[in-house]
């Protein structure tokens, strides 16, 4: 297969142009409708913007006088362009639209490479250009678009390495994976499994064992060195030796809080409030001795206490986690469009209701009380079912089970499992959607080929 033929180039350019157009129109329409820049902000947005402003104004990664060890600097650095130019929303959204369009291109390259087919590449790119989450999150000041771009880029180069064994591709993949971890630490735990996977490939390619061992070691060392810099920084400024304290926050204020809510028949969000999730004074009232502790000591306590609660109530936690995985998979995501377009009911509190009452119970309630929210989710749900069915049919075909494709599927499963928070919804499906589009392109290509053959057969007779 040639790198890219002229016909495929033209079609790809049209798909990318269409991707840009649809992603650019949405924020323009949303702003014209609301005249309020706050529609581009979500829960964590203001925190990232504040860190970006601190970086520009002082050169320090800090929240006020305290060094920041919960957040990582990747996304705030990305936001500094908007801060410097004085147009945070316009610059950031424009850059995110460009990055999302580049992700469309990368998906074309991955699908073409994996399935040795330009048609699969074009279909994968087209599917992602229309993918609802990728469109809406281009307009929201959150990490999703940048993180997904880096992970998809990492996948392209690691797949190229697995197939062609070019060391340069492996180095770039290590750099992109490390960069993604600085944007969102959720990919932190991929470094060791990927290094082991590369060793396994080397074992099966017996003539290249030494080469694969040395290159797997190089991948591991590049990641460790790049990530180690931030470990050392955190240890130096706060005494906290971890890469990010967000894991301590998550395990205490999310996972352990959800266990307490289920066990004691309480509201999940009320338990989080009682624990002081967004109110330090409440936290100190619950743990008065910690007023004089350092931030590092508090985070270490949270992590230790949260993990203990999970171990002591593992059956409860397991069910909570499985429910989180299901929500990631089946939540349509229409809520983000409704909020962006100022159509979402004020104080709807859907996420809290879903966590406490369950997805389907809330769906029935919406059908009766909030028909617009219900109908929009039905529409997006149909789109999602179509995407998931196409990907599922691909998994039933033995032809896709090459080492590179198995690797890609494994990455998707990793994000699906590790992202299952008690309050998980479609947002956390975002980095998995490129992989679903790639798998779906394989199935669509089979259907198209069958239709073409049947049509040719009929025209002969």
What are 81-140's pLDDT values in tens digits? 999 999 999 999 999 999 999 999 999 999 999 999 999 999 999 999 999 999 999 999
Least confident range of 2-16, 42-56, 159-173, 182-196: 2-16
In the chain, count H helices and then E strands: 22, 2
Instruction: Report the pLDDT averaged over residues 372-393.
Output: 89
pLDDT above 50 (res 236) = yes
pLDDT above 80 (res 59) = yes
Instruction: Report the pLDDT averaged over residues 24-43.
Output: 94
In this predicted model, which residue has the larger pLDDT, 96 or 345?
96
Report yes or no: 240 and 296 within 8 Å, Cβ to Cβ: yes
Report yes or no: 184 and 72 within 8 Å, Cβ to Cβ: yes
pLDDT computed for residue 269 by the predictor: 86
Instruction: Report the pLDDT averaged over residues 245-273.
Output: 92
What is the rounded average pLDDT for all residues in the chain?
A: 90
pLDDT computed for residue 208 by the predictor: 67
Q: For 310-340, what is each residue's pLDDT tens digit?
A: 999 999 999 999 999 998 998 898 889 989 9
pLDDT computed for residue 367 by the predictor: 67
pLDDT above 50 (res 175) = yes
pLDDT above 70 (res 369) = no
Angstrom distances, CA of residue 295 to CA of 106, 225, 237, 276, 291: 40, 25, 11, 15, 10
Residue 170, token pair as written in the block: 């492996």
pLDDT above 90 (res 359) = no
pLDDT above 80 (res 212) = no
SS3 content of the chain, % helix, strand, coil (to 5): 80, 0, 20
pLDDT above 50 (res 436) = yes
Burial class (CB in 10 A: 0-12, 13-18, 19+), 239: middle
Per DSSP, the three-state class of 143 is coil
pLDDT computed for residue 349 by the predictor: 54
pLDDT above 80 (res 357) = no
pLDDT computed for residue 6 by the predictor: 79
pLDDT computed for residue 457 by the predictor: 65
Report yes or no: 354 and 425 within 8 Å, Cβ to Cβ: yes
Q: How confident is the model at residue 346 (pLDDT cuts 50, 70, 90)?
A: low
Could you tell me whether strands 66-67 and 62-63 are parallel, antiparallel, or unpaired per DSSP bridges? antiparallel
Measured at the alpha carbon of residue 261, what is the angle toward residues 258 and 266, in degrees to the nearest 5? Answer: 150
pLDDT computed for residue 2 by the predictor: 46
Least confident range of 19-28, 133-142, 273-282, 435-444: 273-282
pLDDT computed for residue 3 by the predictor: 47
Q: How confident is the model at residue 1 (pLDDT cuts 50, 70, 90)?
A: very low
pLDDT computed for residue 7 by the predictor: 83
Instruction: Report the pLDDT averaged over residues 71-81.
Output: 97
Instruction: Report the pLDDT averaged over residues 209-233.
Output: 91
Least confident range of 181-195, 318-332, 351-365: 351-365
Distance in angstroms (rounded) separating the CA atoms of residues 320 and 242: 26
Instruction: Report the pLDDT averaged over residues 437-443.
Output: 97
Q: For 388-397, what is each residue's pLDDT tens digit?
A: 999 999 999 9
Angstrom distances, CA of residue 237 to CA of 51, 68, 144, 387: 16, 9, 28, 46
Instruction: Report the pLDDT averaged over residues 40-52.
Output: 93
Measured at the alpha carbon of residue 428, what is the angle toward residues 241 and 144, in degrees to the nearest 5? Answer: 75
Q: What percent of the chain has pLDDT over 90?
A: 70
């Amino acid at each position: 297969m040639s790198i890219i033929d002229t016909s495929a180039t033209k079609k790809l350019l049209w798909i990318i142009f269409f991707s840009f157009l649809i992603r650019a129109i949405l924020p323009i329409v949303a702003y014209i409708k609301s005249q309020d820049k706050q529609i581009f902000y979500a829960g964590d947005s203001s925190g990232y913007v504040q860190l970006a402003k601190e970086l520009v104004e002082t050169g320090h990664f800090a929240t006020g006088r305290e060094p920041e060890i919960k957040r990582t600097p990747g996304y705030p650095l990305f936001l500094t362009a908007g801060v410097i130019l004085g147009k945070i929303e316009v610059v950031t959204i424009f850059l995110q639209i460009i990055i999302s369009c580049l992700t469309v291109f990368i998906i074309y390259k991955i699908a073409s490479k994996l399935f040795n087919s330009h048609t699969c590449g074009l279909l994968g790119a087209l599917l992602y250009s229309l993918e609802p989450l990728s469109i809406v999150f281009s307009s929201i000041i959150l990490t999703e678009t940048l993180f997904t771009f880096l992970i998809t880029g990492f996948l392209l180069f690691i797949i190229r390495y697995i197939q062609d064994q070019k060391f340069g591709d492996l180095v770039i993949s290590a750099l992109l994976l490390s960069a993604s971890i600085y944007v969102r630490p959720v990919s932190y735990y991929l470094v060791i499994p990927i290094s082991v996977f590369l060793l396994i490939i080397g074992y099966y390619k017996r003539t290249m064992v030494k080469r694969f061992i040395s290159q797997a070691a190089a991948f591991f060392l590049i990641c460790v060195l790049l990530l180690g810099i931030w470990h050392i920084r955190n240890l130096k400024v706060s005494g906290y030796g971890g890469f990010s304290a967000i894991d301590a926050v998550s395990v205490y204020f999310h996972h352990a809080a959800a266990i307490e809510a289920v066990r004691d028949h309480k509201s999940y969000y009320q338990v989080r409030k009682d624990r002081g999730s967004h109110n330090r004074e409440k936290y100190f009232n619950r743990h008065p001795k910690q007023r004089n502790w350092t931030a590092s000591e508090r985070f270490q306590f949270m992590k230790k206490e949260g993990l203990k609660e999970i171990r002591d109530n593992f059956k409860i936690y397991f069910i909570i986690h499985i429910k989180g995985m299901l929500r990631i998979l089946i939540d349509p995501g229409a809520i983000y469009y409704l909020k962006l377009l100022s159509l979402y009911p004020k104080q709807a509190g859907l996420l809290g209701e879903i966590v406490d009452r369950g997805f389907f119970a809330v769906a029935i309630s919406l059908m009766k009380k909030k028909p617009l929210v219900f109908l929009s989710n039905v529409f997006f749900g149909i789109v999602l079912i179509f995407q998931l069915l196409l990907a599922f049919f691909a998994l039933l075909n033995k032809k896709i089970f090459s080492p590179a494709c198995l690797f890609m599927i494994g990455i998707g499963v990793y994000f699906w499992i590790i992202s299952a928070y008690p309050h998980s919804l479609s947002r956390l499906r975002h980095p998995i959607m490129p992989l679903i589009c790639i798998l779906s392109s394989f199935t669509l290509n089979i259907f198209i080929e069958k239709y073409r053959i049947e049509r040719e057969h009929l025209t002969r007779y």
